[in-house]
């Protein structure tokens, strides 16, 4: 059974930092891309950052310079280091894994940034 276990979310003051982790297990297909998406109340889910199997990264304009995505191939884990957090970063963050066969999603972890 495939599992994407997310951790690291929580409540933080504006300007603070959080580090999200997503550990994937049970995936037998080749992983092409791992990434993070977020969904704020009343809004559509949006791309935050992605990282490919060759470590090519992409970021949403709103988080460039503040967030950093990385991966640990040995642990099959993707991370999202979030610095200089703003209230508008408040959302449920979802881990996404794209394989050769299908996509997998984490259950989401809440990130709340107080003003």
pLDDT of amino acid 57: 98
Of 82, 55, 53, nearest to 67 by C-alpha is: 82
Of 10, 37, 13, 16, nearest to 83 by C-alpha is: 16
pLDDT in tens, 25-36: 998 888 899 999
pLDDT in tens, 48-106: 999 999 999 999 999 999 999 999 988 889 999 999 999 999 999 999 999 989 999 99
Q: What is the mean pLDDT of residues 30-49?
A: 96
Rounded CA-CA distance 25/1 in Å is 8
Rounded CA-CA distance 12/72 in Å is 25
pLDDT of amino acid 74: 84
pLDDT of amino acid 29: 85
């Amino acid at each position: 059974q495939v599992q994407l276990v997310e951790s690291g979310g929580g409540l933080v003051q504006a300007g603070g930092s959080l580090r999200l982790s997503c550990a994937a297990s049970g995936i037998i297909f080749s992983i092409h891309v791992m990434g993070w998406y977020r969904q704020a109340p009343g809004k559509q889910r949006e791309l935050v950052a992605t990282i490919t199997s060759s470590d090519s990264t992409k970021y949403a304009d709103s988080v460039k310079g503040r967030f950093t995505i990385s991966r640990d191939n040995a642990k099959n884990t993707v991370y999202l280091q979030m610095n200089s957090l703003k209230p508008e970063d408040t959302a449920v963050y979802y881990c996404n894994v794209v394989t050769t066969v299908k996509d997998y999603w984490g259950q989401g972890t809440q990130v709340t940034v107080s003003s």
